[in-house]
Amino acid sequence: MVKITVGVVGAMGAVGTRMIKCIEESKLEVLDFVPLDVKENAGKSVSFRGTDVTVLAAEKGSFKGIDIALFSAGGEASAVLAPIAAEEGCTVIDNSSQWRMTQGVPLVVPEVNSHAAKAHKGIIANPNCSTIQMLVALKPLHDLFRIRRIVVSTYQAVSGTGLRAIKELEDQTRQFVRGEKLTHSVYPHQILFNCIPHIDVFMDNGFTKEEMKMVNETRKILEDDEILVCPTAVRVPVFRGHSESINIETEKPMPSAEEIKDILAKAPGVAVSDDRENDVYPMPVDCRDRGETFVGRIRRDPTVKNGLSLWVVSDNLMKGAAYNATQIAELLCEKGWIRGEKRQI
């Protein structure tokens, strides 16, 4: 595999920290590692493969010599910096929502549409966390039975919002035990012992932006403008791991739940966790630091012609963000889809 210099933008954040860990554990042949962050964090250090590396400011000029940069710096920073990085010869794998729906920017889940990455022009987008795990679980079924409609309700962890939200849930937990009034600033309401059916801003159609990401990104990734998605996105008091209750209807008849389990067990990136007799099903507490998408509660839905219900859990910081981005970097290196002189085709 081609040796590369790899950067992480937003290296001090919740996802950035996971990205560094994923790169350490990946198959990437790293010549040099460059952590970048906002100016305020420049000069601090992060550990990479046992060595302390100084964090640099992410700005014009920072990206020269970096082959691939994993971005997790938020949409605004990405809007400015990703084109600069691409201009400086770097391939950006961006975790924000900034570029996902831009024409010409591939939106990639390696298990689902790795072929799309080839056509990149310097920026590849990492999809929304909820969308990634849903599509890893559903792609094998879409290929065989063609999914026409998805009704999905999410149970999303606070780490999807970032380090401040993790701290808010921790703080509220301590306040509760001390009998103090619970305070909040990240979420509009208390999240401890609560469910908040509101992620990202509301759109005119009554859905939230988070929900519309699941609609639009699914269509782009599956290259199927006819697939219908009706999502409800909910924040729950969980630190790590998004859960999804998914109901699908397919065009072609589906086999029994047992046969579908076998299909999913062989699918890339999927771990079937479905043993009712032993209380085994996917749960957030079991998915931490894992790259797989866990699928369980697999059962035929008798209320519609070709229906199926399932329960899907994955670590939102891993497959939903850092691990998926790292897999894209590995894909680019394996296939030689790097820019400049390292490009193989």
The distance of closest approach from Cβ of residue 89 to a copy of itself in the complex, given in angstroms and rounded to an integer, is 43
The distance of closest approach from Cβ of residue 191 to a copy of itself in the complex, given in angstroms and rounded to an integer, is 9
Examine residue 176 and tell whether it contacts a copy of itself (CB under 8 A). Answer: yes
Q: How far apart are CA 68 and CA 122, in angstroms?
A: 9
In sequence order, the β-bridge partners of residue 71 are 9, 94
Helices (H), 122-252: 129-145, 163-178, 209-222
The distance of closest approach from Cβ of residue 122 to a copy of itself in the complex, given in angstroms and rounded to an integer, is 35
Q: How far apart are CA 228 and CA 147, in angstroms?
A: 8
Examine residue 306 and tell whether it contacts a copy of itself (CB under 8 A). Answer: no
Query: Which of 189, 266, 305, 343 touches a copy of itself by CB under 8 A?
Result: 189
Examine residue 146 and tell whether it contacts a copy of itself (CB under 8 A). Answer: no
Q: How far apart are CA 132 and CA 320, in angstroms?
A: 6
For 118, other C-beta atoms within 10 Å of its C-beta total 14
Q: Binding segment for a copy of itself among 14-22, 70-78, 173-181, 332-340 (CB under 8 A)?
A: 173-181
Instruction: Output the CA angle 23-11-82, nearest 5 degrees.
Output: 90
Catalytic annotation, pick one of 22, 242, 287, 333:
242
- Judged by beta carbon, residue 63 or residue 311, the one nearer a copy of itself is 311
Q: What Å distances lie between residue 204 and 145, 207, 208, 252, CA to CA? A: 33, 7, 9, 34
As to burial, measured by CB atoms within 10 angstroms (0-12 exposed, 13-18 middle, 19+ buried), residue 276 is exposed
- Region 226-245 residues binding a copy of itself, contact defined as CB under 8 A: 228-230, 232, 234, 236-239, 243, 245
The distance of closest approach from Cβ of residue 343 to a copy of itself in the complex, given in angstroms and rounded to an integer, is 41
Is 129 noted as a catalytic residue in this protein? yes
Q: How far apart are CA 228 and CA 44, in angstroms?
A: 46
Supply the residues annotated as catalytic.
129, 242
**Rule CB under 8 A: which residues touch a copy of itself?**
149, 151, 153, 155, 173-174, 176-177, 188-190, 193-198, 202, 205-207, 228-230, 232, 234, 236-239, 243, 245, 247, 257, 276-277, 279, 281-285, 296-304, 307, 309, 311, 313
